[in-house]
Amino acid sequence: MTVLDSAPLDALDAYRTCEFVTLGRNGTPQAWPTAVARREDGTLLLTTSLAFAQKALNVRRDARVALLFSDPTGSGLDPAPQLFVAGRAECPEEIMTGPEGAEAYWQRLFERQPHSRAYLSPALRPLMHWYYLRLHITVEPERVLVRPPLATLFEPGAPAAVTGTEALPGAAQLSRFPTAVLAARDASGAPLLARTRPRPTPAGYLVEVPSDCAVQRGPATLLVHRHDERLNRMYNASVRGDLRRTTDGWILVPAAVVEPMGSGRATDALRVRRHTKRATDRYLERRGLGRPKVRWDGFRGLARSAAHGERTT
């Protein structure tokens, strides 16, 4: 028996993405959407490219992490229970240049995200080299909670606009989504996650927190993200600030907005390309490493297998 055995594993496996939170250097919970693979030993595998290695660096400094499975887009789940997993993670320094040790992860990704197979074409390899230089993050779950489906908690549609809140950092990003994921900390400093509906007020964003999520005052983040049924048209943004208790409830006072992949402008692709190259080079240079060679054949074999399975179903 493992900790995960108490969860509805079919539902966990059906989710295309989850929200993953680590703790930054100053203790701020930093959350991202990511793909996860469940292993037979009860651990969870995530990977991250060298270009977006912050979550790996955070794990090496503080192993406490949490995951929330709360966006069922593409999963086929109806209803879709939310799953919260808290635990500890490890991320070795070894840079993985092929799919070895994560074959099931890549196979599933190529099946669920067909457009990613195109990254392996000879024409795109020079641009996508960074994408296949990966760090493996293994999470050992310590606690699992099952929460009700979103449909039973929130009415459809976004919250009504409130006069005087237009200048709040993150107002434009949060207003596009009916809900967001709150990343905060408990009394011990460990990260927590909960899907909520932020309500703008002149002082910040009022957030509802489930009773099993014992948040405390301190740095916090509101994450919004989306993808379609085939893990395309992806977007994410984080509003970081300070979570405070008021007479009206918990309010996140925003301070900054982070949009890792841009906001959809025509110039975003060029900016992301520059960032990924520079960030990858910086990661390697700080460790005195040359640029490793991607083992393209291993990835291509899994991509071909995923494409064949799609044609025969």
Question: Does pLDDT of 157 surpass 80?
Answer: no
How far apart, in whole angstroms, are the C-alpha atoms of residue 67 and residue 299? 27
Tokens of 291: 């640029």
Q: CA nearest 127: which of 307, 294, 302, 289?
A: 294
Q: What percent of the chain has pLDDT over 90?
A: 88
SS3 268: helix
Question: Does pLDDT of 163 surpass 60?
Answer: no
pTM attached to this predicted model:
0.94
Beta bridge partners of 98: none
Q: CA nearest 149: which of 46, 87, 72?
A: 72
Mean model confidence pLDDT for the chain = 94
**pLDDT at residue 109 in the model:** 97
Single-letter residue type at 113: Q
How far apart, in whole angstroms, are the C-alpha atoms of residue 146 and residue 68? 10
Contact 238, 223 (CB under 8 A): yes
How far apart, in whole angstroms, are the C-alpha atoms of residue 163 and residue 143? 41
Mind listing the pLDDT tens digit for each residue in 295-308? Answer: 999 999 999 999 98
Mind listing the pLDDT tens digit for each residue in 241-293? Answer: 999 999 999 999 999 999 998 877 778 888 889 999 999 999 999 999 999 99
Mind listing the pLDDT tens digit for each residue in 7-55? Answer: 999 999 999 999 999 999 999 999 999 999 999 999 999 999 999 999 9
How far apart, in whole angstroms, are the C-alpha atoms of residue 198 and residue 173? 12
Q: What percent of the chain has pLDDT over 70?
A: 96
